Structure 1
């Protein structure tokens, strides 16, 4: 057990019989709409037994989430979702079970966040050029942490201002590659993200792999390089995967010998495809990642 993690091991029996882990969601600390305490209460109300808050490139909400979970009798794993560049695309790596006070991880995440404001101002300039002024200031109204201003915040502003009917339309028309509000950002490297997590005592997981649109060759390269850097898991069941995609990544996890994770990727009651804790079960053929993280689970008080 890592002495820096300040938690006690959870009885393996409890983890083996756990049926509802949700290890991927976002609070207002990044691009969610609820505070960490509200998410903890929602997870508990929806029957979640093991929860992780995984804000984008930020661990500033971890202590709040941990304390709220424990006060509610909910087991907790520290979490984060790190944006990395791979094969010309942005890939997300979820980290679980790390020491959220680890200074190298905190500094790495701070460096990754560093270019968000200049990028956001470029995005606003692109939108102004097509007749949508004031987008930077508008997006800031939805930001809990200005260092983490993102496309999601711009999308919320554009919907509220009546430029689009929903967030999906915003992304289609304005915020994807080749559209007026899209600006590429230089993210962390895959190896850097996995190393930060490992050195902080955690495990790295490829988040929602079906979302990236890789060719089979590119995806094989992603999984191979991820494992070579010490990555351990893959999200099989997630809010953005269909049943067919969950079945596909069940086989991928078995092929590569990866641990399986499960998470809703919940952001908001009004926007998310699936609520916290409302996921299908992992296949019984898979090894859940939480069994390997037993000594890093913060048990309910």
Structure 2
């Protein structure tokens, strides 16, 4: 590679302790810089609380890292919880602040109900345990799962969801999130780009996934995540084909929550040929494409 050509690694989906991640904003940006990420988006669940601290640490430490202001908004569509990522948002925009405050209230009510259901199932202290693990951030089902592992009710977080927190299980409480249309509208009002998060993870048939993509595109959504660290064989190519079919830009992100052996910042993040990266919407084309870590 010559000196005039360089690769930029984009990781546009990550989490901190402001939601269900385990790293502080400061720890996350330092890890991203160490992993040679060039452009990082922090996209915590229904909160932008980590953004100021991350921006301040990048400036203080002089990190060679561009931070994209982001958020991952929980929505409800056809009785499915669908996540919409907003990228390059104005975190102080009144419409965004109002929506995230509403989402916070909904999340608090849901957490209280989950705690009550687990209490009735003879698992005391679950709400308090989840709040402790959240460290002042938004309480998510992930925090309940970690508490239940800690309490010896299961060996892994995935096992907790299967036994306690999935639809129809003891601690499951149906979500009451905003709609996809509302999330996209607020993202646009705040100057951002709306991205459908991890479309391969919603346990939808091909027919229903196409319905979701059509609805998202018709509602003004601009992009969908195509590349992730861990994907089933051929999923990346299939999602790229869907992006082309529905006229959507392509995004990529690790959905990083904590250091582990199988998901890492920037790992395996590249886009197949024939799709356009969502970052082309907000910056000049780079000399080269992103590289795999």
Question: Given the two structures, how large is their TM-score scaled by the length of structure 1?
Answer: 0.88
4+ aligned runs moved over 3 Å, structure 1: 16-19
Residue 117 of structure 1 corresponds to 108
Distance in 2, Cα, partners of 1:38 & 1:224: 38
Is contact 1:66-1:78 (8 Å) kept?
A: no
What is the CA-CA distance between 1:30 and the residue it aligns to? 0.8
Contact 2:76–2:175 at 8 Å: present in 1 too?
no
SS in 1 for 2:251: strand
Q: CA RMSD in A?
A: 1.8
CA contact (8 A) 1:123 1:182 kept: yes
2:244 pairs with 1:254:
yes
1:203 correspondence with 2:193: yes
Matched residue, 1:6 = none
Structure 2: distance between partners of 1:145 and 1:222: 34
2:63 corresponding residue in structure 1: 72
Tell me if structure 1 keeps the 8 A contact 2:74–2:83. yes
Equivalent position of 1:169 in the other structure: 159
Task: Call closer, same or farther: CA 1:256–1:245 in 2, change over 3 Å.
Answer: same
Where in structure 2 are the equivalents of 1:119-268 lying within 5 Å? 119-145=110-136, 148-268=138-258
Instruction: Work out the CA distance in 2 between the residues paired with 1:257 and 1:220.
Output: 13
Gaps of 5+ in 1: 1-13, 296-301
1:42 — aligned with what? Answer: 31
Instruction: Say if 1:54 and 1:79, in contact at 8 Å, map to a contact too.
Output: yes
SS in 2 for 1:77: strand
Q: Distance in 2 between matches of 1:130 and 1:98?
A: 41
1:211–1:240 contact (8 Å) kept in structure 2:
no
Task: Find the counterpart in structure 2 of residue 279 from structure 1.
Answer: 268
How many residue pairs get aligned? The number is: 279
Cα contact 1:263–1:279 (8 A) shared by 2: no
Please give the alpha-carbon distance, in whole angstroms, between the structure 1 residues aligned to 2:217 and 2:6: 28
Bigger relative CO (Cα 8 Å, ≥ 6 apart): 1
Which secondary structure state, in structure 2, belongs to the residue aligned with residue 142 of structure 1?
helix
Question: In 2 relative to 1, CA 38–284 (structure 1 residues): closer, same or farther, beyond 3 Å?
Answer: same
TM superposition shift of 1:185: 1.8
Whole-Å Cα distance in 2 between the matches of residues 227 and 18 of structure 1?
Answer: 30
- Equivalent residue for 2:291? none
- After TM superposition, give the deviation of residue 65 of structure 1 in Å: 1.9
**CA distance change for structure 1 residues 18 and 77 in 2, over 3 Å: closer, same or farther?**
farther
Query: After the TM superposition, which of the residue ranges 246-255 and 273-282 deviates more from structure 2?
Result: 273-282
Cα distance between partner residues in 1 of 2:244 and 2:263: 26
TM-score (norm 2): 0.90
In 2, the alpha carbon distance for the partners of 1:98 and 1:128 equals 39
> Which secondary structure does the structure 1 equivalent of 2:14 belong to?
coil
